[in-house]
Amino acid sequence: MSVRLKVNPIACEAHALCVELLPELIRLDDWGYPLIDSEHVPPELMGLAERAVDACPTLALIIEEEPE
């Protein structure tokens, strides 16, 4: 099972809480929207990634589990 971090770009309103909680995987673009450089979430960051997903005020941050 591979775990991917995704943004629903329609729902995202650039609150940027995800960047505060998960700077290891997310940075901001020049307009304040989250840029995910690598969608793959390593196991050691799963806890932080789940916290970031829970914190998103518009539920735009998603963790997707994909069969390999």
Partner 1 sequence: MMPAWLEGHPGLPRLLAGLDTSGRAMTLAEHQRVHGDLPHRSPHELIEAIERSGLRGRGGADFPTARKLRTLASARRVSALVVNGSETEPASAKDRLLLTRLPHLVLDGAVLAADAVGAPEVVVQMGAGAGGSPASLEAALAARPKDPVPVSLVAAPEGYVAGEESAVMHYLNGGPPLPTFVPPRPFQKGYHRLPTLIQNPETLAQVALVARFGERWYRELGTSADPGSALVTISGAVADPGVYELAFGTPMSALLDAAGGTTEPLRALLVGGYFGTWVDASEAMGLRLAREDLRSVGCSLGAGVLIALGRSACGLHESARVIDYLARQSAGQCGPCTYGLRAIADSVTAVADGVAHGQERRRIERWCQEVKGRGACHHPDGATRFILSALDVFSQEIAEHREHHCRAEPAGLPVGGATVRQAAGQRS
Residue 32 exposure: Cα atoms within 13 Å on the Cβ side: 6
Phi, psi of 22 (to 5 degrees): -140, 55
Q: How far is the CB of 47 from partner 1 (least distance, A)?
A: 26
What SS3 class is residue 35?
A: strand
Q: Select 13 or 20, whichever has its Cβ closest to partner 1.
A: 13
Q: Select 30 or 44, whichever has its Cβ closest to partner 1.
A: 30
- Which parts of this chain interact with partner 1 (CB under 8 A)? 7-14, 29-33, 35
Q: How far is the CB of 60 from partner 1 (least distance, A)?
A: 9
